[in-house]
Amino acid sequence: MSQGTMIDAHSPGKAGLIVGLSEEMGLVELLNEKLSSDRGRPEDIPYGVMAQMMMVNMCDDHHPLWRLEDYYNMKDLEGLFHYPIRHEQINDDRFGHFFDRLHDAGPREIFSRLAANAFLRYDIQVKNINYDTTSKVMWGTYETEDGKVGVIEIDFGHSEQKRSDKKQIKLGIGTAEGIVVDAQVLSGNKDDKTWNNENLELVEDVLSSLNIKKETFCYIADSALFSEENLKKAAKKGITLITRMPDNVTEAKKLLQLAVEEFDTLEPISMTNAKGEAVPYRVRSEIIQYKGYPLSCGICYSPSMKEQKARSHGKKIAKELEDMEKKCKPFQKRTFACEEDARLEIEKLSKDTQKLKFHQVRFDINEVPKRKPGRPSKNKETQWVYQLVPLITEDELAIQSHLVRECTFVLASNDTAFSATQLLQEYKTQSQTEKKFQQLKSPHFVNAMFLDSPKRIEAFAYLMLMVILLLSVAEYVVRREMKKTGEKIVGLGKREVSNPTLFAIYTIFYSVRVNLYENNGLIERRLAHPLFDNIKTVLGHLGIPEDTFTRGSG
């Protein structure tokens, strides 16, 4: 076949990766099945393809719905999405209708089905899920329709972005091995304790869909999980919890004090972080009773926190000294007629000195001659008065004790078989959830949506969570397979990487170039140059065909 006349060129690398992932995990078929209606004519653009179009936009340079046509104006739509799409078909009404259909079809159930597809497709096995929530500030005015059931409220709440003046939504996600496996879009005023309690009712369905054995499963979350009600529900359902005990709980205070008083009994251990570095800890195991529930507790001291806490302690120590010196300053000029009055004043000040955390104050009473105004009297008799002299010193023992306490935290589980080391090892995986929040909080995801109802906001947020699911699966699978084969890919700065991040994987796809040729009235797509080995490696591990960039609607 002759090559024909070249008419255009495109760079579909990153978009092609998103489309390939969504096809491999069955997203298109899933959404077409759930959103399509048996009545009426089929959609001009299938719902699954519309979802892909939104996802590509999210991951590249997010535009609001009314500017989606601008985003795709110069792109090869048929080449990207493997479906014949005309640019004039892209309008905000079409995609607004898509979000309405997605919301009505039950987006959380669709998310769960997609996660199950991914686990089956890539043979992913996990046993624990880490749960946490984050807030996302919304920059519009939204009102929930009266009488609408199942619609989130975009409302004021505790904003983690320090914008208490703005309304927000909340996102609750569960991660396993860095993969987002469970997700919920929540009302902006939903508190974490309530959400964890409600989520314990739903987690069994998640375990069933992902084929996770309940007997070996652990529900891991931060201190918002720790409550009598959650322990009661977990016991009823036979779910193992691992969480951090809040420092203000009486039992936690006792264990933290135990760490201070018997620091030498804490066992030195080492944990490996994400970078493969050894991180030191000191731990001690304890079994306690809390509201009638036996708990295995791990007292965990982190030396690596010491430098950071010492800096904040330094500020607190300086502030306490400044405040105490201010209280003592008037005594430089004040005198008392008798020693008893001076001692009474010391007793009054003891209320303030007893509150000191980092200093000790001692008051000396000095007897000084009283000078009368005017000329010296011929009478040689001297009158004496009494003056307080404060001596403020740092309490080194108290400072060290506070520092140890600040660097110590208590982990707890309703499974008493866990040791402190095992609890710490499992709880440290909670950082995987925080890493996903960095993607979710990216401004191009939500801030500029310009959607006009909470219903569509909720549907969009679930679609965004599906994107994070796709990307987290891709990162996990590529890393897992490269570890098996010992392969490396060349990343930024021509560095060889054996454990690539999602960003590093993304980056190598910028090199993909596709030329379009017109040949006897037909459009033919060809790679401008062969795919680099890096790209072939990633596509191979993900099972994405190499012709995903060139086959069009085929």
In a domain, 71, yes or no: yes
Tell me the DSSP string of 394-440: E-HHHHHHHHHHHTEEEEEES-TT--HHHHHHHHGGGHHHHHHHHHH
**Under 8 Å between Cβ of 92 and 453:** no
In a domain, 481, yes or no: no
Residue type, 146: D
In a domain, 452, yes or no: no
Q: Rounded distance, CA 363 to CA 401, Å?
A: 25
Structural domain total, the chain: 3
Q: Which residues pair with 283 in a beta bridge?
A: 267, 300
- Judge if 162 and 223 occupy the same domain: yes
CATH of the domain at 269: 3.90.350.10
- Judge if 280 and 389 occupy the same domain: no
In a domain, 494, yes or no: yes
Task: Please report the pLDDT score of residue 455 as a whole number.
Answer: 86
**Under 8 Å between Cβ of 388 and 405:** no
Q: Rounded distance, CA 217 to CA 215, Å?
A: 6
Task: Please report the pLDDT score of residue 7 as a whole number.
Answer: 84
In a domain, 287, yes or no: yes
In a domain, 289, yes or no: yes
In a domain, 376, yes or no: no
- Judge if 316 and 346 occupy the same domain: yes
Distance of CA 201 to the CA centre of its chain: 22
Q: Rounded distance, CA 87 to CA 75, Å?
A: 9
Task: Please report the pLDDT score of residue 446 as a whole number.
Answer: 46
Provide the residue-wise pLDDT of the chain in tens; the chain has 554 residues. 456 787 889 989 889 999 999 999 999 999 999 998 766 677 889 999 999 999 998 887 666 666 788 889 889 999 999 999 999 999 888 988 999 999 999 999 999 999 999 999 999 998 899 999 887 655 444 444 443 445 555 555 454 544 454 567 888 899 998 899 999 988 877 888 889 999 999 999 999 999 999 989 999 999 999 999 999 999 999 999 999 999 999 999 999 999 999 999 999 999 988 777 889 999 999 999 999 999 999 999 999 888 888 888 889 999 999 988 888 888 878 888 888 888 888 888 887 788 888 999 888 888 888 776 666 666 666 678 888 888 889 999 999 999 999 999 999 999 999 999 999 999 998 877 777 766 666 554 444 445 667 888 889 889 989 999 999 999 999 999 999 999 888 877 778 888 888 888 888 898 899 999 988 888 899 999 999 999 999 999 999 999 999 998 86
| Nearest alpha-carbon partner for 81 in 13, 20, 11, 32 | 20
Task: Please report the pLDDT score of residue 124 as a whole number.
Answer: 93
Q: Rounded distance, CA 462 to CA 186, Å?
A: 10
Task: Give the contacts of 39 (CB within 8 A, at least 6 positions apart).
Answer: none
- Judge if 273 and 387 occupy the same domain: no
Phi, psi of 445 (to 5 degrees): -80, -50
- Judge if 435 and 393 occupy the same domain: no
- Judge if 284 and 316 occupy the same domain: no
Q: Rounded distance, CA 449 to CA 67, Å?
A: 10
| Nearest alpha-carbon partner for 454 in 187, 164, 182 | 187
- Judge if 143 and 226 occupy the same domain: yes
Q: Rounded distance, CA 436 to CA 465, Å?
A: 10
- Judge if 116 and 253 occupy the same domain: yes
- Judge if 170 and 268 occupy the same domain: yes
- Judge if 130 and 208 occupy the same domain: yes
CA distances, 140 to each of 65, 383, 457 (Å): 15, 76, 11
- Judge if 247 and 290 occupy the same domain: yes
Task: Please report the pLDDT score of residue 154 as a whole number.
Answer: 56
Task: Please report the pLDDT score of residue 404 as a whole number.
Answer: 92
Query: Could you give the angle at the alpha carbon of 60 between the alpha carbons of 542 and 188, nearest 5°?
Result: 100
Task: Please report the pLDDT score of residue 348 as a whole number.
Answer: 83
In a domain, 362, yes or no: yes
391-396 contacts: CB < 8 A, separation 24 or more? Answer: 391/361, 391/362, 391/363, 391/364, 392/321, 392/324, 392/325, 392/328, 392/359, 392/360, 392/361, 393/359, 393/360, 393/361, 393/362, 394/317, 394/358, 394/359, 394/360, 395/356, 395/358, 395/359, 395/360
Domain that holds residue 496: 5-105+486-549
- Judge if 423 and 361 occupy the same domain: no
**Under 8 Å between Cβ of 152 and 167:** no
